[in-house]
Amino acid sequence: MERTLAILKPDCVRRKLVGSSINFIEENGFTIRSMKIVQMDRKEAEGFYAVHLGKLFFDGLIQFMTSGPCVPMVLEKENAVQAFRNCIGSTDPSKAAEGTLRHMYASSVQENIIHGSDSEENAKKEIAFFFPTVEIIE
């Protein structure tokens, strides 16, 4: 089994879509191994999104991700990283396939309700950012 990180972003929480999003994720065969609600400060968000440092959208992303609470989750499934990327759809909701989470709920490229790891290597790093091993249920 493979694991990936998902983050229900501040727009998801603000719009009260957490329950619907979790239900969708579980209906798509993912097992939630850990979950919490966090409020990232600027330093934490900059650390998490350091890979995007220097890109034009970086400051807006940090401002958005610190604008309210979010819900990081460790998800497990066979081929979890790619399966989850397929499940959530394109970052741009207007290009997201029908039936994906972003097609259903996202309102813009920036406010796209959810983050999903883009590789197994990044999934491991991202999971470790939010969850000590002791917090992940086997």
Would you name the residues annotated as active-site residues? 115
What contacts 132, CB < 8 A, 6 or more positions away? none
Strands (E), the chain: 2-8, 31-35, 71-77, 114-116
Neighbour-count burial of 42, counting CB atoms closer than 10 A to its CB (0-12 exposed, 13-18 middle, 19+ buried):
exposed
